[in-house]
Amino acid sequence: MKTVLLFISIFCVPILGISQASDTDINIGNKTMGLTSLHKGSFYFYWGYNREWYTKSDIKFNSSTCHFTLSAVRAKDRQSGLGFKNYVYNITIPQFNVRAGYMLSDRFGISFGMDHMKYVVAQKQQVKINGSIAPTTNQVKYAGVYLDELIKIDSPFLRFEHTNGLNYISMDGEYYLECWHRKNHAQSLGLVAGLSFGLLYPRSDVDVFDIEGVNIFHTAGFGISGILNVRFQVVNHLFLMFQNRFGEIILNDILISEGFQAKQHFGFYQTAFMLGINFNLF
């Protein structure tokens, strides 16, 4: 994260200080655009905060002593409390988005970044369980064969979270459509649509039968998504963006402990509000 802040201090502050750029036009091919306008060769960077909604999910657990599935499990995100400590001093604690991109043409861009989401299975809910659990030391309370029986998700049976977090590291292909602009392009309003593919790199907190999980970062699966954003160029290289992202996450290798893993997939919808800059290095 220190690298990101260093990048901002080196590149962003000098760029934002160019106060005369918004009144100057340049020619690109047969087009005339303001220096603050996105066009072929432009770079951009943004940071913001998100929240998510998830579909219900079937979670499959597998080890040498148990094989069972929990059906239609509900989960939600985890928002950090508002305050200077979380959103200024510890800026990577809340759910955040960070992304950098490059305009391949006046309309098409490509970007790389990470959506730091959080996923928490709701406690006290009752779900259906199917499968078998052997009567080992930690599992004896829950030992048996289950067929569409109801079980309550609570401790010590299960705590299931991707809170450090559900990290979606993706490459996005983006199409930019400008809907309105001032004559010098210093201010503009437009839409951004795109498709995304990426890997999920979570650190999952999963405790089953009161056994604490390994809790390490690793590649657990992949995701695909689409975006539809509203982008407003505020002033001189500075923009605001409201993001809508929707997609599917497939986690085929959720680590619990040695020889014990889980699988799940679910849909998600994300909203995010971001602040960014665009600039030209060449």
Domain extent at residue 112: 2-55+77-117+167-279
- pLDDT of amino acid 239: 96
- pLDDT of amino acid 96: 95
- pLDDT of amino acid 16: 38
pLDDT over 50 (residue 160): yes
CATH number at residue 33: 2.40.160.20
Residue 6 banded pLDDT, cuts 50, 70, 90 = very low
For residue 144, what are the CA distances in angstroms to 9, 125, 133, 149?
59, 21, 5, 11
Asked if residue 92 belongs to a domain, the reply is: yes
Asked if residue 202 belongs to a domain, the reply is: yes
Mean pLDDT of 91-120: 95
Q: Specify the number of domains making up the chain.
A: 1
- pLDDT of amino acid 79: 87
pLDDT over 70 (residue 11): no
- pLDDT of amino acid 29: 41
- For 186-226, how does the pLDDT look when each residue is reduced to its tens digit (9 = 90+)? 789 999 999 999 999 999 999 999 888 888 999 999 999 99
SS3 labels along the chain:
CHHHHHHHHHHHHHHHCCCCHHHCEEEECCEEEECCCCCCCCEEEEEEEEEEEECCEEEEEECCCEEEEEEEECEECCCCCCCHHHHHHCCCCCCEEEEEEEECCCCEEEEEEEEEEEEEECCCCEEEEEEEECCCCCCHHHCEEEEEEEEECCCCCEEEEEEEEEEEEEEEEEEEEEEEECCCCCCEEEEEEEEEEEEECCECEEEECCECCCCCECCCEEEEEEEEEEEEEEECCEEEEEEEEEEEEEEEEEEEECCEEEEEEEEEEEEEEEEEEEECCC
- pLDDT of amino acid 138: 82
pLDDT over 70 (residue 41): yes
Contact 243, 191 (CB under 8 A): no
- pLDDT of amino acid 176: 95
Average pLDDT, rounded, for the chain: 86
- For 53-103, how does the pLDDT look when each residue is reduced to its tens digit (9 = 90+)? 999 999 999 999 999 999 999 999 998 777 666 766 677 789 999 999 999
pLDDT over 80 (residue 24): no
Asked if residue 261 belongs to a domain, the reply is: yes
Please tell me which residue, 201 or 7, carries the higher pLDDT value: 201
CB atoms within 10 A of CB 75: 25
167 has which bridge partners? Answer: 116
What span, in angstroms and rounded, lies between the C-alpha atoms of 42 and 251? 35
Asked if residue 50 belongs to a domain, the reply is: yes
Question: How many angstroms from the chain centroid is the CA of residue 28?
Answer: 35
- pLDDT of amino acid 48: 95
Asked if residue 162 belongs to a domain, the reply is: no
- For 163-190, how does the pLDDT look when each residue is reduced to its tens digit (9 = 90+)? 988 999 999 999 999 899 887 767 899 9
- pLDDT of amino acid 85: 66
Mean pLDDT of 151-161: 94
Instruction: Give the burial string for 85-115 (b: 16+ CB within 10 Å, else e).
Output: ebeeeeeeebbbbbbebebeebeebebebbb
Asked if residue 154 belongs to a domain, the reply is: no
Mean pLDDT of 128-147: 92
Asked if residue 230 belongs to a domain, the reply is: yes
Contact 226, 196 (CB under 8 A): yes
- For 238-270, how does the pLDDT look when each residue is reduced to its tens digit (9 = 90+)? 999 999 999 999 999 999 988 899 999 999 999
Asked if residue 71 belongs to a domain, the reply is: no
Please tell me which residue, 215 or 48, carries the higher pLDDT value: 48
- pLDDT of amino acid 37: 67
